[in-house]
C-alpha cells in the first residue's frame, strides 16, 4: 500500500512535553532522564531526541500526550493482519496511519499485536484515550480465538476463573468465555490489557492461538466494516465512550 507522504516537522522531546503542558522545558529534561517517557513504545532517556508530533506516539507516566486540537475526531478501524498498531515503525512495515489517513493527528487507543486483527479505536482526544486504557474503566474487549486443538468444556472454568500466566506468574482477572460450534473457536471477553494476554492465557492451558480477532472494543463492533476500512464514530457512540470512561461532557 502506498505510504502516507508528509513533510516531516520535528521538535525536541523536552520542548514537546512543555508544549503539552507537562512541565517546563528544564523539568521535562529531568522527566526524560528519569526514564518516564516512551516514544513509539520504547523508553527514551535522551532529552535532545527529536520527534515528529504528527507521527510519533509519546507516553509519559502511562499517559498518551497530544497537543490541543480544535477538533476532536474518533475513528473505528478494522485492522488487518500484519499492520502495526503504532504511528511509525522502524522496519518500515504498514502501520495504522498508512490506512487511516486524516489531517488530524490521531493515535491508537491501546494496541493490537501485529498478527491480531479487528476493532481498533483511534482518536486525538488524549483524555478519553487515557481514561479508556486505565484499568479502573473496566473497558470490555471481545475476541474470537481460533486454536490449534479443540477446547474442552472441562477447562472453561480454569480459563475464566482468574488464572496465573505460566510465563510470568502474573494473575489475570476473571473473564467471560464461550466455546463456539466446532470447539476450535472461543469467544472471550476481558477488561484488562496485559501484553499478548489472550494468547498467553491459552498458552498457559496448552493451546496455541492460530488466529485472533478482536470483534468488539468498549461496545464498538466492526459490523459491516471490511478489513482495512475505517469510519468516524457517530455522536451517540462518542457519548457512550465518554460515559464508560466516566467523563462528563
Q: Terminal CA-to-CA distance of the chain, rounded, Å?
A: 38
**Residue in 56, 61, 89, 113 annotated catalytic:** 113
Q: In sequence order, which ranges of 34-82 are alpha helices (DSSP H)? A: none
Distance CA 33, CA 46 (A): 7
Q: How many helices (H) and strands (E) does the chain have?
A: 6, 15
CA nearest to 149, candidates 182, 190, 196, 116: 182
Is 113 considered catalytic here? yes
Distance CA 101, CA 30 (A): 35
Instruction: Burial-class residue 71 by CB neighbours within 10 Å (0-12, 13-18, 19+).
Output: exposed
How many degrees, rounded to 5, is the angle at CA 131 between CA 126 and CA 134? Answer: 125
The set of catalytic residues is 113
Amino acid at each position: 500500500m502506498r505510504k502516507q507522504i508528509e513533510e516531516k516537522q520535528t521538535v525536541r522531546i523536552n520542548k514537546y512535553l512543555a508544549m503539552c503542558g507537562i512541565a517546563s522545558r528544564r523539568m521535562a529534561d529531568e522527566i526524560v532522564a528519569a526514564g518516564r517517557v516512551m516514544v513509539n513504545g520504547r523508553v527514551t532517556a535522551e532529552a535532545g531526541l527529536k520527534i515528529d508530533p504528527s507521527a510519533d506516539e509519546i507516553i509519559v507516566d502511562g499517559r498518551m500526550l497530544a497537543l490541543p486540537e480544535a477538533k476532536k475526531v474518533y475513528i473505528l478501524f478494522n485492522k488487518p493482519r500484519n499492520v502495526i498498531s503504532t504511528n511509525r515503525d522502524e522496519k518500515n512495515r504498514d502501520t495504522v496511519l498508512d490506512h487511516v489517513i486524516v489531517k488530524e493527528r490521531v493515535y491508537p487507543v491501546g494496541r493490537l499485536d501485529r498478527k491480531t486483527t479487528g476493532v481498533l479505536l483511534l482518536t486525538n482526544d488524549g483524555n478519553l484515550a487515557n481514561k479508556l486504557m486505565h484499568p479502573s474503566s473496566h473497558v470490555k474487549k471481545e475476541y474470537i480465538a481460533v486454536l490449534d486443538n479443540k477446547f474442552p468444556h472441562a477447562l472453561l472454568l480454569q480459563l475464566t476463573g482468574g488464572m496465573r500466566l505460566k510465563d510470568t506468574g502474573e494473575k489475570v482477572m476473571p473473564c467471560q468465555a464461550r466455546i463456539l460450534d466446532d470447539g476450535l473457536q472461543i469467544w472471550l471477553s476481558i477488561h484488562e490489557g496485559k501484553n499478548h494476554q489472550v494468547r498467553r492465557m491459552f498458552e498457559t492451558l496448552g493451546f496455541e492461538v492460530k488466529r485472533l480477532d478482536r470483534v468488539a472494543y468498549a461496545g464498538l463492533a466492526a459490523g459491516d466494516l471490511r478489513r482495512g476500512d475505517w469510519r468516524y464514530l457517530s455522536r451517540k457512540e462518542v457519548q457512550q465512550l465518554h460515559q464508560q470512561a466516566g467523563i462528563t461532557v
